[in-house]
Amino acid sequence: MQPQADPFIVPKCLDEINILFRDKHILVIDKPSGLLSLSGKHPLNIDSVHYRLVQDYPTCTLIHRLDFGTSGIMLLAMNKQINALLCKQFSERRVSKRYTALLHGDLEPDSGLVDCGIAKDVDNFPLMKLCQDTGKPAQSQFRVISRFIQTDNDNFFLDDTRVGHRHVTRVEFEPVTGRTHQLRLHSQHLGHPILGCDLYATDEAYFMSSRLMLHASRLCFEHPVSAVPMIMESKSPF
């Protein structure tokens, strides 16, 4: 875990929220990296997805969250009734999600399932930890998309003397469950942490990127009113 300031003040996010779909029931957006999903307790951490969107859509509520550093698709409800219907889909695991990530090193094999429970690390808040005995069940499917060597000209990569091993694997994750920090921890469990991860990556993997290389690229759910299958996609920026 990288050193954290106390209190932690989020750097200002200048990127805008892109709206992918909107009707009178739901709102689907593309969250930029570096923006909180929900405003923090500190008054300087007020900027967030929810804070920005309620200015135009006062009754909207988050159905789920993405970590501060994660970019990509988020789903919001326009009222409490729709919120309840969508949350029911999530709790019944009728929603499928796909993430794109860049991992440190050459991941083998080309595909697989990580099945390892996750629990709160009570001695190291806000960290979570892998724990089969007391952790909640957590499963993530993965598939390798490509393997490559980082160059100093690549977008988002840092030219840092602390970086030596520059092999990178691009993967797609499909989480079966939705535990806090699940993909970060399961990547660590594979021995190939997500680049730019300040919580679970090695120093080398952390300093290889100026942001967390994790993007929510696909979200599939059923429209809560029309029951039409909704397939929302967002191209990874890396």
Q: CA geometry: angle at 236 spanning 233 and 238, to 5°?
A: 175
Phi-psi region of 191 (alpha: psi -120 to 50; beta: other; left: phi over 0): left
Query: 3-class SS at 98?
Result: strand
What distances in angstroms separate CA 197 from CA 22, 34, 143, 169, 205, one per listed residue? 32, 12, 20, 15, 8
Q: Is 110 labeled as catalytic in the residue annotation?
A: no
CA distance 89 to 13: 31
Question: Which DSSP helix (H) or strand (E) runs through 198?
Answer: none
Instruction: Choose among 204, 37, 184, 178: nearest CA to 101.
Output: 184
**Any residues with CB less than 8 A from the CB of 144 and at least 6 apart, and which?**
107, 109, 110, 111, 169, 170, 171
Q: Which among 23, 30, 67, 115 is annotated as catalytic? A: 67
- Token pair, residue 70, equals 């994660």
* Beta-carbon count within 10 A of 201 CB: 26
The catalytic residue positions are 67
